């Protein structure tokens, strides 16, 4: 939006301004008001109140009157030396006796100029229209019939039949308008800057207080009102120590050094504040403090964590989702329920595919942290450097390819909730040391950073290895072992869970093929081949077997033939073992896709890697 210039002029001045206005319309908006003396002030004040003009331009009596009342910038059209000489030259064409009439004060240096002229010039001033009329009467009585002056002077002179010469020229008006344009643009820029500053201050989450060099409050934003419970009207313009209880802002006025991250009590409210002096050209001109209610910081952090939770860091399973009626599974579920209500670390142990992560999710959802994030990470699935950056995060520029602005680690994202470290036995010695510090100090530092971040997390860990054997071999830190083994859950393998394989298979098959009735499912999964199978891949393998059954099953199919086709090679395998030929055959079928191969073989991708490398 263009800045606006309000022009308060009259008759001849208005005409001259309009004749050159086209030069300025690309830069500013011109509003011309044709009025005089008694009427000019109310109109100008109305425009100022409604913010219709950034700058005003006027001349003569109008300008003198407005200058005493307007707060906005006012540019007066001055009578230049060129103007007066040109006007006198024109007046000389009418008479050798000329009157020059101006408002309140005479034109500087006019007397020196007239002393050099060969004709007579008499200069007079007026304050009111009545006084102007009296002066014109006197001049006319003296035989002076040619008058130089403003629009009002010309108008009153012509009413008497006198000749009037306008004292202003387009040159003088252009000079005034040029100056007004510069002021208007500058004011507009400053106004927009001030408005941006005001909006930033008003909508800042932090409370902000600023004072002048005498300690009087000049800024007190809405957040400061809210945090302190004090209305702005009671604070602005007053000494800060008189209106803010326990203020320490005067400290930085008297001793101009920043005071950062200071804890302070304002009544019953605890805040964290930064106080700094305002120094201009080496002189302290004031002080400013920004502060936040510690309680609101915690609530905001809680909101952020909740949003992260809603974006996917959540546990989908509960302990009730764990299917099984065997004594082994009932006992371990009872332990899980008891451990869930504590905040201690739990080490979940069990073979591949026994459902360790399902237990971890169930424990989280039954704990007091259930409304907070659940973050799971497979420690065996990532190389050491990548795992470190995922767990601890990194700062911008920490390494080649680091994301601009850095990235929070999973420990930070799990704040308030639970982090599940699957395959913890695969962590390198270097990361074991960093993990131990997190568990003991509840602090993390991003890669490439120097800032310590406190985290409030519960750790659940899982492994399919015998960690104590790793400790004995020196592959796992003994202190870390004792730190994570506060509570231990030993998940039984499926082969030790009796009828649970039948229950699980029935549940999965009913979901995949709902049209197969329960009696048929009972006959199929009650077959000796199915019941005798020892499930080396545990529940993960069982799911894959059931998926194959769901695809190959047809009404009237021979159960023995179907199960023999699916289980024939598995029945001769020892627990946890797959022949290399079978692995490579499946890899060939899926064109080397290890994720799909692991799924078809009923083992985890990590186990597949381990078997290929063994």
Instruction: Average the pLDDT over 415-431 and give the result.
Output: 92
Q: What is the average pLDDT value for the chain, to the nearest integer? A: 88
Three-class secondary structure of residue 261 per DSSP: strand
Are the C-beta atoms of 96 and 119 separated by less than 8 Å?
A: yes
pLDDT surpasses 70 at 312: no
Are the C-beta atoms of 555 and 521 separated by less than 8 Å?
A: no
Please, which residues have CB within 8 angstroms of residue 409's CB and are 6 or more apart in sequence? 389, 390, 391, 392, 393, 394, 444, 446
Looking at per-residue pLDDT, the higher value among 294 and 284 belongs to 284
pLDDT at 576: 43
pLDDT surpasses 60 at 108: yes
Q: Express each pLDDT in 556-593 by its tens digit.
A: 899 988 998 888 655 444 444 445 656 777 787 788 88
Are the C-beta atoms of 101 and 132 separated by less than 8 Å?
A: yes
Domains of the chain: 4-78+172-187 (3.40.50.2300), 81-167 (3.40.50.10660), 204-293 (3.30.450.20), 319-490 (3.40.50.300), 496-613 (no CATH)
For the range 301-309, what are the long-range contacts, defined as Cβ-Cβ under 8 Å and sequence gap of 24 or more? Answer: 301/415, 302/416, 305/372, 305/373, 305/415, 305/416, 305/417, 306/371, 306/372, 308/373, 308/413, 309/371, 309/372, 309/373, 309/374, 309/417
Percent of the chain past pLDDT 90, that is, above it, reads 61
Instruction: Average the pLDDT over 458-472 and give the result.
Output: 93
Q: Express each pLDDT in 152-192 by its tens digit.
A: 999 999 999 999 999 999 989 999 999 999 999 998 888 88
pLDDT surpasses 80 at 150: yes
Go through 65-95 and write b for each residue having 16 or more CB atoms within 10 A of its CB, e for each that does not.
Answer: bbeeebebbbbbbbbeeebbebbbeebbeeb
Calpha distance 357→56 (Å, rounded): 75
Element (H, E) at 147: strand 146-149
Counting every residue, how long is the chain? 614
Is residue 513 classed exposed, middle or buried when 0-12, 13-18 and 19+ CB atoms within 10 A define those classes? middle
Residue recorded with tokens 């451990």: 339
pLDDT at 298: 66
Q: Express each pLDDT in 42-56 by its tens digit.
A: 999 999 999 999 999
Instruction: For 374-416, give the secondary structure using H, E and C.
Output: EEEEECCCCCHHHHHHHHHEECCCCCCCCCCCCEECHHHHCCC
Q: How confident is the model at residue 402 (pLDDT cuts 50, 70, 90)?
A: low
Instruction: For 106-136, give the secondary structure using H, E and C.
Output: CCCCHHHHHCCCCCEEEEEEECCHHHHHHHH
Residue 225 Cα distances to 202, 243, 297, angstroms:
10, 12, 17
Instruction: Average the pLDDT over 74-99 and give the result.
Output: 91
Instruction: Average the pLDDT over 134-147 and give the result.
Output: 95
pLDDT at 580: 61
pLDDT at 575: 41
Calpha distance 62→31 (Å, rounded): 16
- Of the candidates 486, 507, 494, 491, the one whose C-alpha atom is nearest the C-alpha of residue 333 is 491
- Of the candidates 74, 97, 93, 106, the one whose C-alpha atom is nearest the C-alpha of residue 6 is 74
For the range 254-259, what are the long-range contacts, defined as Cβ-Cβ under 8 Å and sequence gap of 24 or more? Answer: 256/284
- Of the candidates 340, 319, 456, 443, the one whose C-alpha atom is nearest the C-alpha of residue 392 is 443
Instruction: Average the pLDDT over 266-291 and give the result.
Output: 88
Are the C-beta atoms of 258 and 267 separated by less than 8 Å?
A: no
Instruction: Average the pLDDT over 452-457 and give the result.
Output: 91
pLDDT at 611: 72
Q: How confident is the model at residue 540 (pLDDT cuts 50, 70, 90)?
A: very high
Residue recorded with tokens 């009650």: 526
Top mean-pLDDT range of 178-182, 393-397, 402-406, 532-536 = 178-182
pLDDT at 490: 95
Residue 159: count of CB within 10 angstroms of its CB: 11
Angle formed by the axes of helices 151-159 and 12-20, nearest 10°? 130
Q: How confident is the model at residue 261 (pLDDT cuts 50, 70, 90)?
A: confident
Looking at per-residue pLDDT, the higher value among 399 and 510 belongs to 510
Instruction: Average the pLDDT over 332-355 and give the result.
Output: 95
- Of the candidates 92, 87, 95, the one whose C-alpha atom is nearest the C-alpha of residue 16 is 87
Q: How confident is the model at residue 608 (pLDDT cuts 50, 70, 90)?
A: confident
| N-term to C-term CA, the chain | 74
DSSP annotation string for 159-179: HTT-EEEE---HHHHHHHHHH
Calpha distance 250→259 (Å, rounded): 11
375 token code pair: 């973050």
Please, which residues have CB within 8 angstroms of residue 310's CB and are 6 or more apart in sequence? none
Mean pLDDT is lowest, of 207-221, 359-373, 564-578, for 564-578
Instruction: Average the pLDDT over 195-219 and give the result.
Output: 89
pLDDT surpasses 90 at 333: yes
Residue 504 Cα distances to 155, 490, 507, 509, 564, angstroms:
108, 19, 5, 9, 20
Please, which residues have CB within 8 angstroms of residue 538's CB and are 6 or more apart in sequence? 350, 351, 352, 353, 354, 355, 493, 494
Residue 421 Cα distances to 250, 348, 360, angstroms:
51, 10, 10
Q: What is the CA radius of gyration of the chain?
A: 45
pLDDT at 395: 85
Instruction: For 37-97, give the secondary structure using H, E and C.
Output: HHHHHHHHHHHHHCCCCCEEEEEHHHHHHHHCCCCCCEEEECCCHHHHHHHHHHHHCCCCE
Strands 97-103 and 146-149: parallel
Instruction: Average the pLDDT over 5-20 and give the result.
Output: 94
Are the C-beta atoms of 174 and 18 separated by less than 8 Å?
A: no
């Amino acid at each position: 939006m263009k800045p606006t210039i309000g022009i308060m002029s009259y008759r001849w001045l208005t005409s001259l301004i309009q004749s050159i206005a086209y030069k300025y319309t690309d830069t500013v908006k011109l509003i011309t008001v044709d009025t005089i003396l008694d009427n000019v002030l109310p109109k100008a004040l109305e425009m100022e109140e409604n913010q219709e003009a950034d700058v005003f331009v006027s001349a003569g009596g109008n300008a003198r009157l407005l200058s005493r009342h307007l707060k906005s910038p006012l540019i007066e059209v001055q009578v230049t030396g060129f103007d007066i000489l040109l006007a006198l030259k024109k007046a000389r064409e009418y008479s050798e006796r000329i009157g020059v009439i101006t408002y309140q004060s005479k034109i500087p240096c006019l007397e020196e100029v007239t002393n050099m002229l060969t004709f007579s010039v008499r200069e007079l001033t007026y304050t009111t229209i009545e006084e102007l009329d009296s002066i014109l009467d006197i001049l006319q009585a003296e035989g002076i019939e040619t008058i130089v002056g403003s629009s009002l002077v010309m108008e009153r002179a012509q009413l008497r039949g006198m000749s009037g010469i306008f004292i202003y020229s387009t040159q003088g008006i252009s000079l005034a308008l040029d100056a007004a344009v510069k002021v208007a643009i500058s004011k507009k820029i400053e106004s927009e800057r001030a408005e941006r500053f005001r909006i930033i201050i008003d909508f800042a989450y932090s409370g902000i207080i600023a004072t002048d060099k005498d300690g009087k409050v000049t800024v007190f934003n809405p957040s400061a009102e809210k945090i302190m419970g004090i209305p702005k009207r009671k604070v602005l313009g007053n000494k800060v120590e008189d209106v803010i209880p326990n203020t320490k802002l005067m400290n930085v006025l008297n001793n101009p050094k920043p005071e950062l991250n200071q804890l302070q009590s304002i009544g019953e409210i605890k805040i964290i504040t930064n106080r700094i002096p305002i120094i201009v050209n080496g002189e302290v001109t004031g002080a400013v403090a920004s502060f936040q209610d510690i309680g609101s910081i915690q609530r905001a952090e809680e909101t952020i964590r909740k949003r992260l939770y809603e974006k996917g860091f959540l546990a989908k399973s509960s302990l009730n989702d764990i299917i099984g009626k065997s004594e082994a599974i009932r006992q371990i579920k009872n332990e899980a329920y008891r451990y869930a209500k504590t905040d201690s670390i739990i080490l979940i142990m069990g073979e591949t595919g026994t459902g360790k992560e399902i237990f971890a999710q169930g424990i989280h959802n039954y704990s007091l942290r259930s409304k907070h994030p659940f973050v799971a990470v497979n420690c065996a699935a990532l190389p050491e450097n990548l795992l470190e950056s995922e767990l601890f995060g990194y700062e911008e520029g920490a390494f080649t390819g680091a994301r601009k602005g850095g990235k929070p680690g999973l420990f930070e994202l799990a704040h308030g909730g639970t982090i599940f470290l699957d395959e913890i036995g695969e962590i390198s010695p270097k990361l074991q040391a960093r993990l131990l510090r997190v568990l003991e100090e509840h602090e993390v530092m991003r890669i490439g950073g120097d800032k310590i971040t406190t985290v409030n997390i519960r750790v659940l860990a899982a492994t399919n290895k015998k960690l104590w054997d790793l400790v004995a071999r020196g592959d796992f830190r003994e202190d870390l072992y004792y730190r994570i083994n506060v509570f231990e859950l030993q998940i039984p393998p499926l082969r030790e869970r009796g009828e649970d394989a039948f229950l699980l298979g029935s549940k999965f098959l009913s979901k995949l093929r709902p049209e197969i009735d329960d009696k048929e499912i009972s006959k199929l999964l009650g077959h000796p081949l199915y019941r005798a199978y020892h499930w080396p891949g545990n529940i993960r393998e069982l799911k894959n077997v059931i998926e194959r059954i769901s695809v190959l099953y047809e009404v009237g199919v021979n159960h023995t033939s179907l199960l023999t086709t699916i289980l024939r090679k598995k029945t001769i395998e020892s627990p946890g073992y797959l022949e290399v030929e079978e692995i490579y055959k499946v890899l060939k079928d899926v064109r080397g896709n290890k994720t799909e191969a692991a799924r078809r073989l009923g083992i985890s991708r990590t186990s597949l890697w381990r078997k290929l490398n063994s």
